[in-house]
Amino acid sequence: MNSIVSAILKITKKVSYFGMEYFHITLNWIMKLGKIQGQFFRKGGARKQVLRNLGSLGDEIYTFYKSGGNAGWLDQPQIRQQLDHVGEAEAKILQADAEIDAIDAAFKSKKQEISEKYAAKRSSLDVGGPTGGGE
């Protein structure tokens, strides 16, 4: 009788470990979603900044062209400054993409770590066959 009760307790613990494992994975997934959403907002802001900077660059090039300059527009300090601003804004977009990839990789490793942790706990509660583990 005692072995039946202990087998039931072991099975209950195993099931609770499954529940805790998936609870922790779900919690980490929700946190990952929040972090990625924040990066998407940053990326959207950076895209808007790129468009603004490209507009300013176009204005500077048009102004240079209208003032009679046809060659050497890359040497103009105003145009060079606008090109630098465009490059910085594009770098922010690439940085947001890299951070999204890093967040995803961190989630995958954390998920693997949680799964291994609870698999070890479940395997330590080895439930035997119909005799209750040979006790």
d(CA 58, CA 133): 78
pLDDT at 43: 94
The residue with greater pLDDT, 52 or 65, is 52
Q: What is the pTM of this model?
A: 0.74
* Residue 26: DSSP 8-state: H
Task: 14-20: list long-range contacts, CB under 8 Å, 24+ apart.
Answer: 14/122, 14/125, 14/127, 17/118, 17/121, 17/122, 17/125, 18/118, 18/122, 20/118
Percent with pLDDT over 70 in the chain: 93
Average pLDDT over residues 106-122: 93
Q: What is the pLDDT of residues 66-96, one digit of tens each?
A: 888 777 777 888 889 999 999 999 999 999 9
Do 10 and 122 form a contact (C-beta atoms < 8 A)?
no
d(CA 100, CA 42): 11
pLDDT at 128: 55
